[in-house]
């Protein structure tokens, strides 16, 4: 399925409310570690097809970042059935990211 680019706060709410597991990447284009994580997120989406992977540019869609108190990027939140259950920050290899998020 690949990584879904979230373009609005409304779209963000629809994606996490749809149910199941959703990993959301909070990032910005000026953030080097965020850009390093782009291929890792593609790998995550391929390796875990049962998990939706979504990406939110905090400069373009700031409301979800404020709502979930994202003050460091890249930040990753695992949502299950619309609720945040795990959070991790910083660039890391796929295996570490998956382990820290519990997927």
65-101 confidence digits (pLDDT tens):
999 999 999 999 999 999 999 999 999 999 999 999 9
| Candidate list 6, 34, 54, 56, residue with the active-site label | 34
The answer to whether residues 61 and 8 touch, using CB atoms and an 8 Å cutoff, is yes
Residue 1 has pLDDT above 80, yes or no: no
12-32 confidence digits (pLDDT tens):
999 999 989 999 999 999 999
Contacts of 19 (CB under 8 A, 6+ apart): 81, 82
Q: Domains of the chain (ranges plus CATH)?
A: 3-101 (3.40.30.10)
| Phi, psi dihedral angles at 70 (to 5 degrees) | -80, 110
Q: What DSSP assignment string belongs to 3-59?
A: EEEE-SHHHHHHHHHT-SEEEEEEE-TT-HHHHHHHHHHHHHHHH-TTEEEEEEETT
pLDDT at 80: 96
| Candidate list 16, 31, 41, 98, residue with the active-site label | 31
pLDDT at 60: 96
The answer to whether residues 18 and 67 touch, using CB atoms and an 8 Å cutoff, is no
Please confirm, yes or no, whether 34 is among the known catalytic residues. yes
Beta strand 21-27 with 75-80 is antiparallel
Please confirm, yes or no, whether 31 is among the known catalytic residues. yes
Distance in angstroms (rounded) separating the CA atoms of residues 67 and 48: 26
């Amino acid at each position: 399925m690949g990584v879904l680019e979230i373009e609005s706060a409304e779209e963000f709410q629809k994606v996490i409310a749809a149910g199941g597991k959703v990993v959301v990447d909070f990032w910005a284009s000026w953030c080097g570690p965020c850009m390093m994580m782009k291929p890792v997120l593609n790998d995550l989406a391929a390796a875990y097809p049962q998990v939706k992977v979504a990406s939110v540019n905090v400069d373009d869609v700031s409301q979800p970042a404020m709502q979930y108190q994202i003050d460091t990027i890249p930040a990753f939140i695992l949502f299950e059935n619309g609720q945040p259950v795990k959070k991790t920050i910083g660039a890391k290899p796929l295996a570490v990211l998956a382990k820290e998020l519990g997927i």
